[in-house]
Copies of this chain bind each other. A is one copy, B any other.
Amino acid sequence: MTMAQRDSSAPKRDTYTPDSLLAVAVAVFIERGYDGTSMEHLSRAAGISKSSIYHHVRGKEELLERAVGRALDGLFGILVEPGASGGRAVERLEYVTRRTTEVLMAELPYVTLLLRVRGNTTTERAAMERRREFDHRVADLLKSAVAEGDLRGDVEPRLATRLLFGMINSIVEWYQPHAAGTREHDDAAVVDAVVRLAFDGLRVS
């Protein structure tokens, strides 16, 4: 259902779960920007009254907190999976690259919102801080893989990490999760392409 259809519908009974209300809010945040979204906009998009929304959450900042929290929990969860914890650093980094791409596609709106957060509120600043912490953990893994002789040492690790995340995060610009069957690239092909290009590049070796 599109926003426009929701807008034109009569107020409906509040059958929202925390997750389904969050999904509506995140779609509005992405469309209007978090700063540009009011409780009135959320009420209209959800098709329930503002007081019904306040029955679920204290306000829009709590919705933002849950949304970016969901994205960050997904990302940090990767780091404690067995594939990220044992073996050579290069294998762990390859695993983290693969899983980060999968989490981005599985949690697309939440990760999209996380990537757009700019730090005007406490919640936004905390989210940026956790995102930086994730980036640093990955940069450390990359450094270890360089030290172990598996990754090239002629690109500064922080810069390499930035470009690696740049490639992965750019997927939010064009990936369409609901177009399964008709979509241009299937999920596994996207994940494989990211890993191949990141580690071995475009050139025939």
Size class of the contact patch on chain A? 35 or more
Q: Is A203 engaged at the interface, CB distance under 8 Å to the other chain?
A: yes
Q: Is the CB of A197 within 8 A of B189?
A: no
Name the one of B145, B151, B166, B199 contacting A170, with C-beta atoms under 8 angstroms. Answer: B166
The complex is assembled from copies of this chain, and their number is: 2
CB <8 Å contact, B190 and A197: no
Interface residues in chain A, defined as those with a beta carbon under 8 Å from any beta carbon in chain B: 33, 36, 90, 93, 142, 145, 149-152, 154-156, 158-160, 162-171, 173-174, 184-185, 189-190, 192-194, 196-205
Q: Is the CB of A150 within 8 A of B184?
A: no
Contacts A166-B166, A167-B163, A170-B165: A184 and B158 contacting too (C-beta < 8 A)?
yes
Cα A168 to Cα B166 with chains together (Å): 8
Question: Judging by beta carbons under 8 Å apart, are B160 and A171 in contact?
Answer: no
Q: For the complex, give the distance between the alpha carbons of A189 and B152 in Å.
A: 14
> When chains A and B are docked, how far (Å) is the Cα of A202 from the Cα of B162?
12
A203 touches B200 (CB 8 A): yes
- Chain B residue at minimal CB-CB distance from A151: B202
Task: Flag if A202 contacts B152 (CB, 8 Å).
Answer: yes
30 inter-chain pairs at a CB distance below 8 angstroms, sorted by A residue, are A36-B36, A142-B202, A145-B202, A151-B202, A151-B203, A151-B204, A154-B196, A155-B202, A156-B185, A156-B193, A159-B184, A163-B194, A163-B197, A164-B202, A165-B170, A166-B167, A166-B170, A167-B167, A167-B170, A169-B170, A170-B170, A196-B201, A197-B198, A199-B201, A199-B202, A199-B203, A200-B200, A200-B201, A200-B203, A205-B205
